[in-house]
C-alpha cells in the first residue's frame, strides 16, 4: 500500500489556501454541497481537520461537532493543521485503529477517506468562491479511483450522505468526475 500521508498533505494545503481565499462577501454564497453556504463549509472544514487529528490519535471523531465556529478561520486552520502534521509524522498512525463517523478503520485507510472528503469539499469551496484556479488537479487524479472504490454508487442517503452519482464523460477532468461521483453537478 502506498503511504497516504503525502496526498492528505496536499489536500490539507489546498483546503488551507481556499480558506485563506474566502472573503466576507463570499460567506452567504451557496456551495455545491447543498446543506452548506460558504460560511458553513469553512466551519465544517475546521471540524474535519480537528476530527482527523482526534481519530488518528485513537479518539472518537464524533466528539467534534459538524461545524466549528471561530472568529479567525485562517489562524485556527493553521493551528489545527499543525496538530495534524505532528500526528501524521508518527509512522504508527498508519496502523492505529481509528473511529470515524462512518466506520472503524486502520489509520492508513482513515487518512485516505479524509483525503477524499477534504478534496471533495475543496472543490465545493473553490467552485462557490470562483477560485478553481487554486485546485490541485493531480490531487483529484489521485483521489478519484480511491473514492470510486470506497464510496458506493448505491445506495445513497442515510449512512452514505451523498446524492446519486451524476453522469459525466470518462474523459471529463478529474475534479468534474470526482464531483459527479459525490453527487454534485460539475
State residue 1's pLDDT score: 57
Answer whether residue 52 shows pLDDT above 80: yes
| pTM for this predicted structure | 0.94
pLDDT band of 156, cuts 50, 70, 90: confident
For the domain with range 5-181, which CATH number is right: 1.10.287.610, 3.55.50.30, 3.40.228.10, 1.20.120.450? 1.20.120.450
* Dist. CA 58–CA 51, nearest whole Å: 11
- The 8 Å CB, 24+ separation contacts for 28-34 are 29/128, 29/129, 30/128, 31/124, 31/125, 31/127, 31/128, 32/123, 32/124, 32/127, 32/128, 32/179, 32/184, 32/185, 33/121, 33/124, 33/184, 34/163
Please give the average per-residue pLDDT across 55-69, as a whole number: 94
Higher pLDDT, 2 or 92: 92
Q: For the chain, what are the domain ranges?
A: 5-181
Answer whether residue 159 shows pLDDT above 90: no
Answer whether residue 161 shows pLDDT above 80: no
Answer whether residue 62 shows pLDDT above 80: yes
Amino acid at each position: 500500500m502506498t503511504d497516504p500521508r503525502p496526498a492528505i498533505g496536499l489536500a490539507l494545503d489546498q483546503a488551507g489556501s481556499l480558506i485563506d481565499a474566502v472573503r466576507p462577501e463570499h460567506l452567504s454564497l451557496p456551495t455545491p454541497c447543498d446543506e452548506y453556504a460558504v460560511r458553513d463549509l469553512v466551519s465544517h472544514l475546521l471540524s474535519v481537520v480537528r476530527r482527523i487529528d482526534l481519530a488518528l490519535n485513537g479518539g472518537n471523531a464524533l466528539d467534534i461537532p459538524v461545524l466549528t465556529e471561530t472568529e479567525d478561520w485562517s489562524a485556527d486552520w493553521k493551528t489545527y493543521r499543525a496538530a495534524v502534521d505532528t500526528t501524521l509524522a508518527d509512522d504508527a498512525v498508519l496502523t492505529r485503529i481509528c473511529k470515524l463517523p462512518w466506520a472503524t478503520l486502520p489509520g492508513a485507510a482513515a487518512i485516505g477517506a479524509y483525503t477524499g472528503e477534504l478534496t471533495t469539499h475543496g472543490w465545493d469551496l473553490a467552485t462557490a468562491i470562483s477560485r478553481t484556479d487554486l485546485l490541485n488537479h493531480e490531487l483529484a487524479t489521485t483521489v478519484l479511483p480511491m473514492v470510486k472504490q470506497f464510496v458506493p454508487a448505491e445506495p445513497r442517503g442515510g449512512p452514505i450522505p451523498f446524492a446519486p452519482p451524476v453522469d459525466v464523460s470518462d474523459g471529463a477532468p478529474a475534479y468534474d468526475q470526482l464531483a459527479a461521483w459525490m453527487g454534485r453537478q460539475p
